[in-house]
Amino acid sequence: MTQEHITRVGIVAKTGLVAAADHLHRLARWLRDRQRHVVFETETASLPGDTGGAPTYSRDALPAEVDLVVVMGGDGTLLSMATRTAHSGRDVPILGVNFGSLGFLTETRIDELYTVLESVLNGTAIFDERAMLAADAYRAREHFDSRIVLNDVVFTKAALSRIIELSVSVGSGLVMKVKADGLIIATATGSTAYNLAAGGPIIHPRADA
């Protein structure tokens, strides 16, 4: 993606992140100075006070309206926007700015924001592509849920169950049968999340696994 392709930039902050208010106002002004249109997520727009008349959209609708999403918060905020972006059907890059205590995905610090954004707008930034999981859930052969996720899909026992029996196959090949309290299917990106906490292996984000 090059400079001329990014004309509309969406800004999303963690819900209630008052600490980001001044940064949001400054970021919007910085983008307008570079002839970029600014679009705020609806709840985020209430944080800086004056949005300069920028249009607002819900988190679900925003990815369809912009060419780049800037997320200010922690990994949870980025993960939720990654899912919404996937559902939009558009290939929109996300820049994560860390306002949380831990950020594997929101790795850009606030003091690096404008240097990184400059490289994105001038076409010198390197975009890191990550695989996602699409999951459909069925109960008694009846479909009841669909998800697209960046981290993981978890099958777990019900509140009153002690254990469940699982048969795991890849394609038509049986991998294993196991009695356990659940199963985590993680992307390479998600290998450092719930998978790691459960003792699973860490996979490089670019691995096809």
Q: pLDDT for 64-120, tens place per residue? A: 999 999 999 988 899 999 999 999 999 999 999 987 666 667 788 888 999 999 999
With 0.75 as the threshold, say if the pTM is over it: yes
- Any catalytic annotation for residue 145? no
Count of Cβ atoms closer than 10 Å to residue 52 Cβ: 11
Report the percent of the chain where pLDDT is more than 90.
59
Sign (positive or negative) of CA dihedral 189, 193, 194, 200: positive
On the question of pLDDT at 122 being above 70, the answer is yes
Instruction: Report the pLDDT value the prediction gives residue 151, as an integer from 0 to 100.
Output: 94
DSSP E strands, the chain = 8-13, 37-41, 56-57, 68-73, 94-98, 133-139, 142-149, 152-156, 164-170, 173-180, 182-186
The CA-atom distances, in angstroms, between 137 and each of 134, 141, 151, 176 are: 10, 9, 17, 20
Instruction: Report the pLDDT value the prediction gives residue 83, as an integer from 0 to 100.
Output: 94
Among residues 75, 91, 111, 128, the one annotated as catalytic is 75
Nearest CA to 90 among 60, 123, 67? Answer: 67
Helix/strand/coil (H/E/C) assignment for every residue in 26-68 = HHHHHHHHCCCEEEEEHHHHCCCCCCCCCCEECCCCHHHHCCE
Instruction: Report the pLDDT value the prediction gives residue 78, as an integer from 0 to 100.
Output: 92
Report the percent of the chain where pLDDT is more than 70.
96
